[in-house]
């Protein structure tokens, strides 16, 4: 801001009144990860670009210096507010995944602070040192396995209570949230979408992304029995997600730092995903 304003003008600015807006007029929520903001921006273009356009528009930001729409931003633009939102998301994900928040509340205060500090300071080894105690993994640790390299703890270690051999594994596939092109959250806006229940599956079958999308957004993702084509496509962490992907795998490998799998849903035109 020193480049734009002189010293006198800079003194009257209040950081707590700053807020960001995209060039298209979408408010950017402080507590959303930047990758999720960009994914949401990208899928929103699927209704605004022409069918022949394949160019991805950069996310251009407009910084406002006053009059923040607090009713839409939800949080004040402070590090403490973002920290509280992040920790709240971690605890919510912990409850939905395991049915309780014992793993999060069982952490020492220094460990809980370490989760946030690791993200804030880009010290991901510090983050995973603690996160590996509360998040699911893809494979259990074997006694004969070599020590995992730095930054990969989460993929090779499993909390004892999460090991299937202890009968303490999760009875859910992990917290997930579909996000539509206008930034709405249909899954988490309704109580029945986030209640910690195992989906009704036949013995031997798995809970897939296709089943989740058909259940939550049936108009966009009709059931295979209907013979209708999908009208939308799903993106997770910027990647078009195959619909036969297991939800448990997504929860272990594609969740964000807050423990949530954010599924962005964009329109599909002419048989191709618009992103």
Whether 124 and 165 share a structural domain: yes
Whether 160 and 117 share a structural domain: yes
Q: Which domain-ending residue is among 123, 144, 170?
A: 170
- Domain assignment of residue 18, yes or no: yes
The set of residues, in sequence order, having a beta carbon less than 8 Å from that of 257 and lying 6+ positions away, is 33, 86, 119, 127, 131
pLDDT, residue 75, reads: 75
The per-residue DSSP string of 142-167 comes to -TTSPPPPTT-HHHH---GGG-GGGT
Q: Are 119 and 85 in contact (CB under 8 A)?
A: no
Q: Is the entire prediction scored with pTM above 0.85? A: no
- Domain assignment of residue 178, yes or no: no
Domain span at residue 46 reads 7-73
Q: Are 77 and 15 in contact (CB under 8 A)?
A: yes
pLDDT in tens, the chain (275 residues): 666 777 777 788 888 888 999 988 888 888 788 888 988 888 887 666 554 555 667 889 999 988 888 888 877 777 888 899 899 999 999 998 888 999 999 999 999 999 999 999 999 999 999 999 998 876 544 444 344 444 443 343 333 333 444 444 444 556 666 666 555 554 443 333 444 445 566 666 788 999 999 999 999 999 989 999 999 999 998 888 999 999 989 988 999 999 999 999 988 766 555 44
- Domain assignment of residue 84, yes or no: no
Tokens 């002189």 belong to: 6
Which tokens in the block code for residue 205? Answer: 């079958």
Cα separation, 111 vs 131, whole angstroms: 9
Q: Which domain-ending residue is among 170, 194, 215?
A: 170
Q: Which domain-ending residue is among 122, 144, 170?
A: 170
Element (H, E) at 258: none
pLDDT, residue 142, reads: 40
How many domains would you assign to the chain?
2
Burial code (b: 16+ CB inside 10 Å, e: under 16) for 56-84 equals eeebeeeeeeeebeeeebeeeeeeebbbe
């Amino acid at each position: 801001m020193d480049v734009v304003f002189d010293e006198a003008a800079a003194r009257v600015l209040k950081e707590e009144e700053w807020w960001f807006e995209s060039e298209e007029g979408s408010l950017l929520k402080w507590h959303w990860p930047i990758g999720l903001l960009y994914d949401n921006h990208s899928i929103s273009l699927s209704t605004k670009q022409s069918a022949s356009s394949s160019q991805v528009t950069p996310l251009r930001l407009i910084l406002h210096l006053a009059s923040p729409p607090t009713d839409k931003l939800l949080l004040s633009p402070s590090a403490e507010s973002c920290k509280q939102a992040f920790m709240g998301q971690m605890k919510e994900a912990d409850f939905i995944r395991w049915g309780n928040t014992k793993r999060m509340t069982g952490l020492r205060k220094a460990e809980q602070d370490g989760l946030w500090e690791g993200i804030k300071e880009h010290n991901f080894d510090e983050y995973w040192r603690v996160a590996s105690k509360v998040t699911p993994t893809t494979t259990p640790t074997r006694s004969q396995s070599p020590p995992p390299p730095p930054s990969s703890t989460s993929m090779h270690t499993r909390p004892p209570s999460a090991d299937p051999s202890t009968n303490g594994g999760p009875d859910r596939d992990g917290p997930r949230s579909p996000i539509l092109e206008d930034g709405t959250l249909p899954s988490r806006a309704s109580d029945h979408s986030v209640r910690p229940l195992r989906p009704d599956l036949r013995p031997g079958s798995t809970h897939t992304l296709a089943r989740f999308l058909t259940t939550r957004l049936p108009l966009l993702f009709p059931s295979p029995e209907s013979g209708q084509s999908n009208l939308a496509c799903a993106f997770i962490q910027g990647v078009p997600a195959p619909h036969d992907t297991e939800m448990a795998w997504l929860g272990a490998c594609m969740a964000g730092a807050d423990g949530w799998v954010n599924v962005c849903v964009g329109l599909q035109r002419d048989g191709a995903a618009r992103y």
